[in-house]
Amino acid sequence: MSAASVAPPFSSILFDLDGTIVDSAPGITSSLAHTYEALGMPVPTPAELLRWVGPPILDSFRDLAGLNEAESARALEVYRKHYVSTGVFDAVVYPGVREILAAIHDAGIPLSLATSKPELPARLILDHFELSQYFTEFTGASEDESRSAKKDVVLEALRRLRVAGADLSNPIMVGDRHHDVEGAHERGIPTFFVTWGYGSPAEQAGAVGVAETPRELAALLGLEASAAA
């Protein structure tokens, strides 16, 4: 699909969660700090911990903390226990994003979550903020993290949408990290990049559109301008 052909109306839409729908960094970074402390490791700075938000967490335990497979499994166990019990709701919905999700739903466009966060905490967040009603499907990492790479999450989201009878002739991904852009591209899906999340400007490479505000994203998606603040 060429950039020139990427235009509404979109037949289905995939949305990342962390950094795209919600600012979940406070809960994630506090749980990471707890994990480092529990493992007897020096706690990185808050800025360094922000690098963890978005990518698959097992990859980050390996790439950012330098842990081996067994150590990463133990760290994941510590992290999840703290995050689900303490950090999962330490988040806020980005202003204007709720209105976009509602406009997508009202337009009858199938919408799937596509996050590298496991599905249980992802659903807890969407339920807590009363956003679940806008989604056709909820796709995230599997509990054992065997499906956590964004390309695999996107593939599963597309499969579920297809089973639900969605039209996949002109889909679009919305995300804030290069993992979203690259993972969707591997499945033949273009991406709109949002700048209010955790990605750097360099991570926009490969995106077919960039939105600095929810209003700009609404325009890219072909929604009514009033859909977002």
Catalytic residues: 16
- β-strands 92-93, 12-15: how paired? unpaired
The one-letter amino acid code at 138 reads F
- The rounded distance, in Å, linking the Cα atoms of 113 and 121 is 12
- The rounded distance, in Å, linking the Cα atoms of 9 and 44 is 44
| Count of other CB atoms within 10 angstroms of residue 30 | 17
85: tokens are: 């019990």
- The rounded distance, in Å, linking the Cα atoms of 142 and 118 is 6
Q: Using an 8 Å Cβ cutoff, are 149 and 117 in contact?
A: no
